Structures are given as structure tokens and as C-alpha cells.
Amino acid sequence: MIPLWFLVVMQFVLSAAIVLSTQLSSHWMLTLAAAAPGIALAVWSWLTMGLRNIRVHTDLDRDARLVTAGPYRWVRHPMYVGLLLSTAALLPAPWAWWRVAAWLTLVAVLLRKAAAEESQLRTRFSTYANYQRYVGGFLPRTFRGLSASTLEGKLAGKGDDAAD
């Protein structure tokens, strides 16, 4: 089993390698425009979670709360999705196989981190299994998302009867 602290280190090393090896050419505006949706999603996620609640480690704090609003209505790991989208947009600048390999390794690292986090969340929050049922991990189950009241109803156990 890979220690979680190692996954955190790998996440930062791989992300930094991709970002710092990017060479913005005459198409720098196009590159930044391609990365902007991922950056915006990550920032929206941070703001929704609350900046004081952001942690680099994977252990839950005692006062942790389950966030299901904002981008968390569509995917359970929007910060990771934002990171993957923004770093993927940088891959062609310049194109190199090692950068693609670093990005694919980053995907694997984030999937493993997400699995570890979700194990803790299922243990801590009785509604997390329902949240997993209705909200995709890295890809939305539906592109319209669930309204806040519908998601709350489903998490409270009202099941599929709750109106969308």
C-alpha cells in the first residue's frame, strides 16, 4: 500500500513538473484560455469548501463537514478535476511524452487519493454513500446537476422520489 503522504508529495511534484516545464509561445493566450476552466473550477471549489478548510493532508479534521453545494453538486472531487483540466491544457506547450506520462501518473495519484478520502468520508458521514450514488467522482452523472434541495432530500434518504 502506498502511504498517503507519498501521494500528496507526488501530486505536487507532478503538477509542478507540468506547470514549470510549460513554455508559453506566441499562442500563450490560447494555452491560458484552455487552462482557465480548470483553474476556475478549482477556485470555485476552494471557495465553496471554505479556504480555511483546505488541507494538503488526507486526514479529516474533527470539525469537518460534508460539502455538497457549488461544484460538489456535480462531482465529488472538483478540485482534482480542476487540476487535471488545467494541467491537461498545458501538455501541448511543449509536447513531450514525459509530460503526458507525468499527467497520466497524476491521474492515477488523484484517483488513489480520492479513494482514500472517500473511505474516511463514508466512515464519518452516514449520508456519504447516498452522495456517492447520486454524484459522480470525477465525471458528472448528469450535466444538469441536482438542485441543492433535491440533493439534500436524496442525502436525507428520501431516495428517488425527491423532485429534481
The one-letter amino acid at 17: A
More confident residue, 156 or 6: 6
Which residue(s) pair with 75 in the sheet? 136
- Say what the pLDDT of residue 57 is: 63
Q: Which of 19-28, 46-55, 152-161 has the highest mean pLDDT?
A: 19-28
pTM, two decimal places: 0.86
**Structure confidence at residue 163 as a pLDDT band (50, 70, 90):** very low
Angle between helices 4-20 and 97-124 (to 10 degrees): 140
Residue 154 has pLDDT above 70, yes or no: yes
Report how far residue 45's alpha carbon sits from residue 69's, in angstroms, rounded to the nearest whole number.
Answer: 9
CB neighbour burial string for 54-73, b if at least 16 within 10 angstroms, e if fewer:
eeeeeeeeeeeeebbebbbb
pLDDT digits (tens, 9 = 90+) for 75-114: 999 999 999 999 999 999 999 999 999 999 999 999 999 9
Report how far residue 22's alpha carbon sits from residue 90's, in angstroms, rounded to the nearest whole number.
Answer: 6
